[in-house]
């Protein structure tokens, strides 16, 4: 399976092979602020099955050991990488060319959720990071 994704202007693109290793909604304050949204949906892919195509993104260190990538033309957030997740890249699900075919499996940092966001799903909710990460 090959999937692709891109930013709003289409300049920064990526290609992934195979299924994601995990998929979740993140409620942490850092992700909310970086995306200006009440919740951010990610999936993880090993770097060995990922490549940037088109214009490469810019990245910045949002906190020690964490890099967030974005399109240098339109500013679309594209990816998250952290030293504690070596060999993996976390991509924003909404950047997939076909995000309708994607389905998250759990919530993380649920203790940080915004009280006015009402969710009606039955996915597992972890108060902090997922138990294995």
| The total number of structural domains that make up the chain | 1
pLDDT exceeds 90 at position 98: yes
Please indicate, yes or no, if residue 30 is contained in any of the structural domains. Answer: yes
Q: What is the pLDDT of residues 46-78, one digit of tens each?
A: 999 999 999 999 999 999 999 999 999 999 999
Per-residue pLDDT, 113: 96
In a domain, 27, yes or no: yes
Q: What is the pLDDT averaged over residues 33-42?
A: 94
The string of pLDDT tens digits covering residues 18-34 is 999 999 999 999 999 99
Domain contains 7: yes
Q: pLDDT band for position 133 (50/70/90)?
A: low
Token pair of 125 as six digits: 């909710």
Q: Which domain holds residue 50?
A: 2-112
Is 125 in contact with 109 (CB distance < 8 Å)? Answer: no
Tell me, yes or no, whether 53 lies in a domain. Answer: yes
CATH number at 70 reads 2.170.150.70
Condensed to tens digits (0 to 9), the pLDDT of residues 75-96 reads 999 999 999 999 999 999 999 9
Query: For residue 132, what are the CA distances in angstroms to 1, 84, 126, 129?
Result: 26, 12, 11, 8
Is 123 inside any structural domain? no
Sequence-distant (6+) residues with CB within 8 A of 117 are 38, 39
Closest to 92 measured CA to CA, from 84, 81, 133: 81
* Any domain includes 128: no
Contact between residue 4 and residue 47 where contact means Cβ atoms under 8 Å apart: no
The reply to whether 17 falls in a domain is: yes
């Amino acid at each position: 399976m090959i999937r692709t994704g891109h930013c709003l202007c289409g300049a920064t693109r990526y290609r992934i092979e195979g299924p994601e290793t995990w998929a979740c909604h993140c409620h942490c304050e850092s992700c909310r602020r970086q995306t200006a949204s009440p919740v951010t949906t990610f999936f993880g892919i090993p770097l060995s099955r990922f490549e940037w195509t088109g214009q490469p993104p810019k990245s910045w260190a949002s906190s020690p050991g964490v890099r967030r990538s974005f399109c240098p033309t339109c500013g679309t957030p594209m990816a998250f990488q952290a030293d504690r997740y070596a060999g993996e890249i976390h991509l924003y699900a909404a950047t997939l060319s076909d995000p309708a075919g994607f389905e998250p499996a759990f919530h993380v940092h649920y203790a940080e959720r915004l009280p006015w966001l009402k969710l009606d799903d039955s996915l597992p909710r972890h108060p902090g990071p997922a138990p294995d990460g």
